[in-house]
Amino acid sequence: MTTQQPPLSQEILAQCNQQAMEPWGSRKLRQSRQGSISTLRSSLSRDQQQQQHPRYPLLLPRGFLPIESSSRSPNISNPNSPFIRRDLVALTKRFSFGGWLQGSRASFSGLPLHQPVQLENTYKTEPEKGCLFKASKVQKLVQAMLDSYLDGASYNAASGSHLSQILSDMVKSKVKEISPPRYKLVCQVVVGQNRNQGLRVASRCLWDSQHDDFAVAMFQNHSLFTLVIVHGVYCE
Amino acid sequence: MDEFQLSEETVETTIGSSAYQQNRINQWTSSVVETSLNQLSKLGKPFKYIVTCIILQKNGAGLHTASSCFWDNTMDRSCTVRWENKTTYCIVCVFGLAV
């Protein structure tokens, strides 16, 4: 039983005729060009890799300390640099100097940098029972402070700003002593001269009204008036 | 910066070039504070906000404000906007406390 091959299609015949009509050199160039594209790409990528990652160990001049023990500087590792001396010390692993901490960041002088403290999550979204910010207690405390500190005081333009800063720091430190744990405090103090001017102070907060609260205390005499607002905000 | 610009625009639109009026000052302070807080909540950031507004008539009297906070320095911030026209001073303080 003989098998007959199917006849060539018209397209294939046209291609063969076209190739037969072309000069021999151009056909070979076309074929070689098609083959050279893939090799050109691979050679370029390889060269780039060689430039970025030279196969040389980390070289450091004497007396230099590595800034970060986990990084390799490509500038230093280039052997063709004119600044590298022949008596370089080759390093293949980290140094450990006196005063260094393994695995920690260090400044250029070799001293360890202060790491930011990371606190663990306590998963507490509400304060403990009985540990709420007590506005009435804070208000009595601040009012007593104002009455004792400002009794007989008079307004002075030069010392007004200093007085307001001292008052705010004092109020904050006193309230901090009696405030429950996990509460942030914001103390605002307004000190003004009493000259029968119109004044209005308003405050609004976007917070958790069940756990956060505020206290207000005011003092005034013939010369000055003082307003203190203390906000206690629970920190989750 | 967003909070600062928001507060400034709020004061400008609320008071504008109006002269100080005793009967309107309550409305102004409430409006400034509520509008500021609404705009801040629309920012959608995870912060608790405290907004304080002081509106003062200009008559030569001195005024000093100071604040002291016990909070997380890395996360919490405050900004103060000072605005004035011919007859009125307005000071808006915004405190943002991270949740």
ipTM of the complex: 0.89
Six-digit token string for A156: 């002075």
pLDDT digits (tens, 9 = 90+) for A137-174: 999 999 999 999 998 888 988 888 999 999 999 999 99
Q: Which of A8-12, A33-37, A206-210 has the lowest mean pLDDT?
A: A33-37
Taking CB atoms and an 8 Å cutoff, what residues of chain A touch B62?
155, 157, 160, 192-193
pTM equals 0.63
Note the pLDDT of residue A13. 63
**Dihedral sign (CA A216, A221, A225, A226):** negative
List CB contacts of B64: < 8 A, sequence separation 6 or more.
A160, A161, A163, A164, A190, A191, A192
Question: Looking at the complex, does the CB of residue A235 fall below 8 Å from at least one CB of chain B?
Answer: yes
Has residue A49 got a pLDDT over 50? Answer: no
Note the pLDDT of residue B13. 74
Put simply, the chain B residues between 80 and 99 with a CB less than 8 A from any chain A CB are: 93, 95, 97, 99
Give CA separation, A117 vs A6, A122, A124, A236, in Å. Answer: 80, 15, 19, 17
- Give the three-class secondary structure for B57: strand
Six-digit token string for A173: 């430190």
Q: What are the phi and psi torsion angles at A61 (to 5°)?
A: -70, 160
Question: Looking at the complex, does the CB of residue A199 fall below 8 Å from at least one CB of chain B?
Answer: yes
Specify whether the CB–CB gap between B59 and A197 falls below 8 A: yes
Q: How far is B18 from chain A (nearest CA, A)?
A: 15
Taking CB atoms and an 8 Å cutoff, what residues of chain A touch B66?
161, 164-165, 167-168, 188-189, 191
Nearest to B67 among A188, A204, A235 (CB): A188
pLDDT digits (tens, 9 = 90+) for A53-88: 444 444 444 444 444 444 444 444 444 544 444 444
- Give the three-class secondary structure for B3: helix
Amino acid at A214: F
Of residues A64 and A9, which shows the higher confidence score? A9
Q: How far is A197 from chain B (nearest CA, A)?
A: 6
Note the pLDDT of residue A218. 94
**CB atoms closer than 10 angstroms to residue A25:** 8
Of residues B20 and A134, which shows the higher confidence score? A134
Nearest to A160 among B64, B93, B97 (CB): B64
Of residues B36 and A73, which shows the higher confidence score? B36
Dump the DSSP string for A182-199.
TEEEEEEEEEEE-SS--E
Has residue A129 got a pLDDT over 90? Answer: no
